[in-house]
Amino acid sequence: MLLDVEVSQLVLVDYQVRLMPAMFEASVVQANAVRLAHLAALLQVPAFATEQNPARLGGSIPELQDALQKASAQVLAKMRFSAVQEGLGALLRPPVKPVQGNARSLPRHLQKNTTGIERASVVLAGCEAHVCLLQTALELLEEDFEVWVVTDACSSRTERNRDAAFDRLAGVGVELVTTEMVVFEWLRSAEHPDFKAAQALIK
């Protein structure tokens, strides 16, 4: 199963000024988060960002703030580790459309999407991987989203904690991808009109 740009949303978790200096491989992780935000802007993928206790940890890092602005991203301040119960779930899910006719009588595989999730694939990255990212991912799964975690745009204070998060996420069915996987799966073809611009983001 490949990522489909038409049904994707991007969520970037807690890339904050007082948090990122403590993250493992912070510079690489930050750069990939910024690339993802620019890619979302380029391909018109809805984008969201979260900030954990911003009064204490500060806002998003400046370079990401610029990219989020270009993507017209909504930024959600939170205190819980999972962003879902802080309002992210509602932002990602539009109002449920009423089922017309006798669609419910059809076999499940022939029914139209009645979950109210027009963009059910959430591309998720952030910090810390074993805390806020993990808890957000698990609750998104419970809310019937498909979750794709961008591993090279995630971090924790230690490599061990980051990798433990990836192991757990893979075990519950989260797709683990890289920034370049997202780029090329959203594009699908070298003939895509935005191919050169997207390619430039990862060079």
Q: What is the pLDDT of residues 1-30, one digit of tens each?
A: 899 999 999 999 999 999 999 999 999 999
| Residue 46 contacts residue 186 (beta carbons within 8 Å) | no
CB atoms within 10 A of CB 74: 14
- DSSP H helices, the chain, are 26-43, 54-57, 62-70, 88-92, 134-142, 159-171, 179-187, 195-201
Class of the CATH domain delimited by 5-94+113-201: alpha beta
Eight-class DSSP state of 164? H
Domain boundaries, the chain: 5-94+113-201
118 vs 66 pLDDT, higher one: 66
- Measured CA to CA, the distance from residue 61 to residue 15 in angstroms comes to 6
**pLDDT band (50, 70, 90) for residue 180:** very high
**Mean pLDDT across the stretch 187-202?**
95
- Measured CA to CA, the distance from residue 129 to residue 125 in angstroms comes to 8
Is the backbone of residue 25 left (phi > 0), alpha (psi -120 to 50) or beta?
left
pTM: 0.89
Q: Which amino acid is at 148?
A: W
- Measured CA to CA, the distance from residue 32 to residue 29 in angstroms comes to 5
- Write down the pLDDT at residue 101: 53
